[in-house]
Amino acid sequence: MTDKTKTKDSDLMEKIVSLCKRRGFVYPSSEIYGGFAGIYDFGPMGVELENNIKAHWWKWMVHKRQDILGLDSSIFMNPKIWEASGHTKGFSDPLAECKECNNRIRVDKVLEEIGIKADEKMSEENINKLFDEHKKEIKCPKCGKQNFTKAKKFNLLVKSNLGDFTESGTAPSYLRGETCQGIYVNVKNVLDSNHMKLPFGIAQVGKAFRNEIAPRQFLFRTREFEQMEMQYLTKPDQEMIEYEKLREYRWKAILSLGIKEENLKWHKHDNLVFYAKEAYDIEYNYPWGFDEMEGIHARGTYDLTVHSEGSGKDLSYLDSETNEKFIPHIIESSGGVGRLFFALMCEAYTEDIMGDETRVFLKFKPNIAPVKVAVFPLLKNKPDLVKKAKEVFEMLNEEIYPIMFDDNGNVGKRYRRQDEIGTPFCVTVDFDTIEKDDTVTVRDRDTGTQERIAVKELVSYLKSKLV
Ligand code: GAP
């Protein structure tokens, strides 16, 4: 058996999208109605992987840290929050429309694609200058023509009529565009109820919504997604020291998921928003190359200042030792569950030759695999084998989860199915189990090798491997 491909082959994206659908990881949303652009559903395997990603993040960002507390704020909030934060005015991407087919493009992204440095923070004037200079090199991805409108800023906040009973819809509320605003507006509550001292952080995981102009690349840029955000409040002179610590910590946390260091890279932002001190992205080597997976930002006093002003409530902190009062500085780590999910799928996707066939398997670290163990009777038409396999399944199911019972098709086919969802171990009950020595075979996903293990030792054997 040769472990052949860990390549970034050109059709890796297609292979992953297809496996995600085939094996119940990710489905296009509303598929039977023709789909809904930029939105996806997570199937039975996908939701397990998602939950493992979020649990891993929570463990690293809350449970392992005495200085960070968790929060679950609402998706809908007082619309004044989005005014104070600047989102109703400034949360926008440059959009242009093809005059021939009305397709919309995100101008900074199409410029980047032809190698021109641009980003969404550029003024309308500057991005239009670049767009004009390079229009001849840009074709509409839909109709291939080269006849575009000027770029204009398009606001990404998703509006709703929740709580708006005006006929004309003039008092919209918003689905949150990022989860961290719910953290900023709860800083005072968390401080008062938990008596935290600086530096300390607040973490949360939850849905965010953006009216992305051009959702693309599968889970990479979607209109509905989940964020895992942690906002860390510091004294003024601690901000950059804590920032460096946070960068190091997040890097370590991501590596512990089983992502290879060679597939990660830091990207420092040159073009910062006016209040930011520093911003880095952790990029992953996606099928199209390195791209942002998570952002780590030093944001100064901006967030708590604007919410102090917007709400009229003083969000400054009184240092009980020095008696000094000041607005805490904030550093944040902000990652998308979908982008990490996609990175883990790319990282795990492996092809090798087993027997005479090409086999596809997902080489997840056992602790993040959607299913930990599958239990099979060797033959489904032998009642004694099926009965014993069910007993072994019930015994394991008390201690390890999720696990799966499978007696569908021949054993080879069952192994392939489990390989494709990344199940690290398959336990098979055979004739030796019931006639000879009460042992089962345990097959290792990555090597395909099998060991005989006594049923009475199975739980501790598997637990020691599922780390
Ligand atoms: N609070 C800071 C913030 O939201 P961001 O760079 O806009 O910063 C942070 O987003 C992270 O959220 C990104 O690094 C990415 O992982 C994820 N993210 C942002 N927009 C996304 C989208 N449209 N689809 C999927 N994930 C997205």
pLDDT in tens, 345-359: 999 999 999 988 999
Taking the centre of ligand 1 as the mean of its atom positions, its distance from the CA of residue 215, in whole angstroms, is 13
How big is the chain, counted in residues? 467
Residue 198 has pLDDT above 50, yes or no: yes
Taking the centre of ligand 1 as the mean of its atom positions, its distance from the CA of residue 281, in whole angstroms, is 11
The mean per-residue pLDDT over the stretch 318-326 comes to 95
Which pLDDT band holds residue 9 (cuts at 50, 70, 90)? low
Ligand 1 site, residue 206, Cβ cutoff 6 A: no
Instruction: Output the 3-class SS for 370-399.
Output: CCCEEEEECCCCCHHHHHHHHHHHHHHHCC
Residue 437, φ and ψ in degrees, nearest 5: -135, 15
Q: Is the CB of residue 203 less than 8 Å from the CB of residue 230?
A: yes
Question: Which one, of 286, 273, 288, 333, lies nearest residue 92 by Cα?
Answer: 273
Q: Which of the residue ranges 39-43, 303-307, 351-355 would you say has the lowest mean pLDDT?
A: 351-355
Question: Which one, of 1, 15, 121, lies nearest residue 349 by Cα?
Answer: 15
Segment 222-268, tens digit of pLDDT:
999 999 999 999 999 999 999 999 999 999 999 999 999 999 999 99
The count of other CB atoms within 10 Å of the CB of residue 349 is 21
Beta strands in 43-184 (DSSP E): 68-70, 92-97, 104-106, 152-155, 158-160, 173-175
Q: Is the backbone peptide bond immediately before 424 cis, with ω within 30 degrees of 0? A: no
Among left, alpha and beta (phi > 0; psi -120 to 50; other), residue 7 is beta
The per-residue pLDDT of the chain, averaged, comes to: 95
Residue 10 has pLDDT above 90, yes or no: no
- Residue 453: the pLDDT is 98
Residue 152 has pLDDT above 60, yes or no: yes
Residue 7 has pLDDT above 50, yes or no: no
Segment 431-443, tens digit of pLDDT:
999 999 999 999 9
Query: Among the atoms of ligand 1, which is closest to the Cα of residue 219?
Result: 25
Instruction: Tell which one of 57, 183, 227, 272 to mutate to probe ligand 1, the residue whose CB is within 8 A of the most ligand atoms.
Output: 227
Segment 130-150, tens digit of pLDDT:
999 999 999 999 999 999 999
In our burial notation (b when 16+ CB lie closer than 10 A, e otherwise), range 214-246 reads bbebbbbbbbbbbbbbbbbbbbeebbeebbeeb
User: Taking the C-alpha atoms of 461, 445, 49 and 23 in order, what is their torsion angle to the nearest 10 degrees?
Assistant: -140
pTM over 0.85: yes
- Residue 2: the pLDDT is 35
What 8-state DSSP symbol labels residue 157?
Answer: P
Taking the centre of ligand 1 as the mean of its atom positions, its distance from the CA of residue 177, in whole angstroms, is 9
DSSP, collapsed to helix, strand or coil, labels residue 1 as coil
Taking the centre of ligand 1 as the mean of its atom positions, its distance from the CA of residue 144, in whole angstroms, is 30
Q: Is the CB of residue 98 less than 8 Å from the CB of residue 125?
A: no
Whole-angstrom distance between the N-terminal and C-terminal Cα of the chain?
A: 25
Q: Is the CB of residue 25 less than 8 Å from the CB of residue 19?
A: yes
Residue 44 has pLDDT above 70, yes or no: yes
403: enclosing H helix or E strand: strand 403-405
CA–CA dist 89, 101 (Å, integer): 28
- Residue 328: the pLDDT is 98
Residue 3 has pLDDT above 70, yes or no: no
What 8-state DSSP symbol labels residue 328?
Answer: P
Ligand 1 site, residue 295, Cβ cutoff 6 A: yes
